[in-house]
Amino acid sequence: MEDWGIAIIKVVFIWVWTLLCATVMTWVERRGAGMIQDRLGPNRAGPFGLFQPLADGIKLFTKEDIVPANARKILFSLGPILFAIPAFSAYAVIPFGDKIVVGGKEILLQVADVNVGFLYVVAIGSMAVYGIVVGGWGSNNKYSILGGLRSTAQMISYEVPWGLALLAAVLVYGTFSLRQIALAQQGTFLGFLPNWGIFKQPLGFILFIVAAYAEANRVPFDLPEAESEIVAGYHTEYGSMRLGLYLFGEYVNLYTLSALMVTFYFGAWHLPYLDMSKFLGPISYGIASFIVFFLKVAFFLWLFVWVRWTVPRFRYDQLMNLGWKSLIPLALLNLFITALCIQITA
């Protein structure tokens, strides 16, 4: 019963924390856009516009929920749910810190340490496309269907280099467990570099981060909802909290992708050349490991915002050419070279 209680506490904590981060990101996105474009951004709702996410939430909750008369109502309702649930569920196997020792009991800062964590993340991540294509098709709107079909082709295309890049990292560490991958990045590499995945898989990281932007439908890969071309894409007909689930799920997905980048390529909770466990207590070390992990994640969240308001979007043919003619061949080459190097050094 005690273990179940700890598991429930961790689930509640990570859900609340992820929701809080996604809420704050809606403010960071707007303020960041204002800063990059030399304007103010939200500054009316509370000091520095900090209450803007709350105002947006109240607006979405109180708006009338309109369902188009000719929509396929079951699919229309399922779309936002199918999109949001995978975004939340993927975080279950990502370690958000090392461990806390309370009363001699070791509590891992991870909801579930499963030995197939990599496969779980890939499987859950690939399900988000159903929410988009079902929402577009269920709307019975030509613009929405076009946005859903574009998204299906885009996300399936970029899941291939995304998965192959992570698979090369799995070959390096020899495990599917995300916790074991994080633990393996302590210490140094070649005697002077941090023992982080980016130094062992530099090409893999580049492939992963490019594919992650496409998976998240973010600029320069936001073709499924490019307002200048196809209205609002797959969620054109959505309003109220149905639209809110799509928008919120996107930010949760950004948090999950950033956490994966930190876990695989940037040492998880480890600091370079410094072992925090040697001079911190069992509780303070756990808290510090969580803070370090989150600060690394926060950097990549800001990078998502920075790129969105800096880089122009691709044409759709450029997007597909990049995925199939560049990223997938490079990902296969990276996987082959990684396997060859491991075989030579074995």
Q: For 213-242, write each residue's pLDDT tens digit.
A: 998 888 888 877 665 665 677 888 888 888
**How far is residue 346 CA from its own chain's centroid?**
34
pLDDT at position 1 is 40
What mean pLDDT is reported for the chain?
88
Residue pair 121/177 in contact by the 8 Å Cβ criterion: no
pLDDT at position 217 is 84
Q: Does the pLDDT at position 57 exceed 60?
A: yes
Q: Which of 57, 55, 59, 58 is nearest to 44 (CA)?
A: 55
pLDDT at position 228 is 61
128 or 339: which leads in pLDDT: 339
pTM of the complete model: 0.92
Residue pair 179/110 in contact by the 8 Å Cβ criterion: yes
Q: Spell out the domain ranges in the chain.
A: 63-345
CB neighbours of 114 closer than 8 A, spacing ≥ 6? 93, 120, 177
Q: How many CA atoms lie within 13 A of 287 on its CB side?
A: 6
How confident is the model over 25-48, as a mean pLDDT?
90
Q: Does the pLDDT at position 2 exceed 80?
A: no
Q: Per-residue confidence at 66, pLDDT binned at 50, 70, 90?
A: confident
Residues β-bridged to residue 296? none
Q: What is the DSSP letter of 273?
A: T
Amino acid, res. 162: W
pLDDT in tens, 295-310: 999 999 999 999 999 9
